[in-house]
Structure 1
Amino acid sequence: MNIKQWLQVEYLPLPLIALMALTRFHHFGDVLHLPDASLAVFFLAGFYRKKFFFVFLLAMAALIDYIAIKNGVSDWCVSPAYVFLIPTYAVMWSAGRYCSTFKALKISELATSMSLIMLATTAAFIISNISFYLFSGRFDDLSLLEYLARVALYYPSYLSAALIYAGAGLAVIKIIYALPALTRRHKAG
């Protein structure tokens, strides 16, 4: 089995599962911890194209959150709005699924994929934050505009973490897809 088949068929989930397990405990990261890679993991899981894997990652995210809370991480973000992480992550997974159709190592396809990552991440940010405002019960004394002004400060780190992780993963996938053609060209030349 070559590396492309290895990543495509059987073992692609392992690096994604490990990445989420290693980073999800600290959403924004700090000096000792990497930022949460969950958005990028769901994007890259879209390349795997298995709905079961999407459901598995949702369950894994919930389990990691449960373990983190049991070990002292604040449960402030867990509220009735928590269920809206499903459409938040579904946006990322769907964008990855769409980008999986781009097989070539072309600048135009990479630009389209990065644009879709940005768009999907922005949609994910809006879904998760608006639902948290509306359904968490924590902002009764705050107008929607005041809330949006406060959470907008988190958007750059939210977007940059997703772009860095997903961009790196996308680059690895594109290189793996391009390796057979590059090898054939090298042998022919």
Structure 2
Amino acid sequence: MNTHTQRAIVLSLLVLLMAATRTHVFSHFAPVPDASWAVFFIGGFYLRAWTRWAFPLLMALAVLIDWWVISSQGISFWSHYCVSPGYWFLIPAHLAMWLGGLWLARHYKGASVAALGRLAASLFAATALCHLLAQGSFYWLSSSVAEPTFAGWWKNYSDWFLPYLRSTAMFVAVAAIAQVASEQIVKHSHAGAQERKQR
């Protein structure tokens, strides 16, 4: 399987994952959490050569899903509680996740304890920045918050950060396990091929 095909498979899986989970984005109590942040992080890791068009494609899909979910409720997109001038900060917020995955890919040389540490650090930093942009823009720019204060913003940020980090990390962990498993399969297949050559 060539690299182009592998990227196409990864992109297709990410599209399906976001389509399956982002429909719950306006319900904080959905049985399956929104995987969007993880999708952009994983996309940055695997699709860096396609960044120029894969990121805009996934971003457009996210907006399209939001529009469809809101419209299907009989509500105008622009009048929904979650849509404010801060909504467009989701572009740099999701880009922060993408860049986190991109940074990890540039420093990834194979599964190791050091690689796990870099994964944890990059995921934490990217999620913290993404949450700052997404939550902060809503808090400070939305008319839904009548009297914004720094203390109120910080409470809101800290209350929601760990749940978002936990759900994002859950999806990224599945991708990391799949990555390690695929590396082991390739390693053993190469070892087997070498053994057969030596016989």
TM-score by length of 1: 0.87
Mark the CA change 1:29 to 1:82 in structure 2 (over 3 Å): closer, same or farther.
closer
Q: How far off is 1:153 after superposition?
A: 1.6
Q: State the superposition RMSD in angstroms.
A: 2.2
CA contact (8 A) 1:105 1:175 kept: no
For residue 92 of structure 1, the aligned residue among 64, 77, 97 is 97
The amino acid across from 1:108 in the alignment is A
**Percent of aligned pairs with the same amino acid:** 26
CA contact (8 A) 2:136 2:153 kept: no
Q: How far off is 1:121 after superposition?
A: 0.5
Unaligned stretches of 5+ residues in structure 2: none
CA contact (8 A) 2:15 2:58 kept: yes
Determine the C-alpha separation between the residues in 1 that align with 2:189 and 2:28: 39
The amino acid across from 2:98 in the alignment is W
Determine the C-alpha separation between the residues in 2 that align with 1:63 and 1:157: 25
* Number of the residue aligned with 1:68: 69
For residue 162 of structure 1, the aligned residue among 156, 160, 168 is 168
Determine the C-alpha separation between the residues in 2 that align with 1:152 and 1:171: 29
Determine the C-alpha separation between the residues in 2 that align with 1:117 and 1:73: 36
The amino acid across from 2:21 in the alignment is T
Mark the CA change 1:24 to 1:122 in structure 2 (over 3 Å): closer, same or farther.
same
User: Highest Rg: 1 or 2?
Assistant: 2
Q: How far off is 1:81 after superposition?
A: 0.4
Q: How does 1:100-179 map to 2 (within 5 A)?
A: 100-101=105-106, 102-179=108-185
Q: How far off is 1:22 after superposition?
A: 0.5
Q: How far off is 1:139 after superposition?
A: 2.0
CA contact (8 A) 1:105 1:174 kept: yes
CA contact (8 A) 2:103 2:122 kept: no
Q: How far off is 1:56 after superposition?
A: 0.3
Q: How far off is 1:170 after superposition?
A: 2.3
* Number of the residue aligned with 2:32: 34
CA contact (8 A) 2:86 2:141 kept: yes
The structure where helix makes up a greater share of residues is: 2
The amino acid across from 2:102 in the alignment is R
Greater length-normalized contact order (CA 8 Å, ≥ 6 residues apart) = 1
Q: How far off is 1:146 after superposition?
A: 1.6
* Number of the residue aligned with 1:56: 57
CA contact (8 A) 1:37 1:161 kept: yes
CA contact (8 A) 2:92 2:133 kept: yes
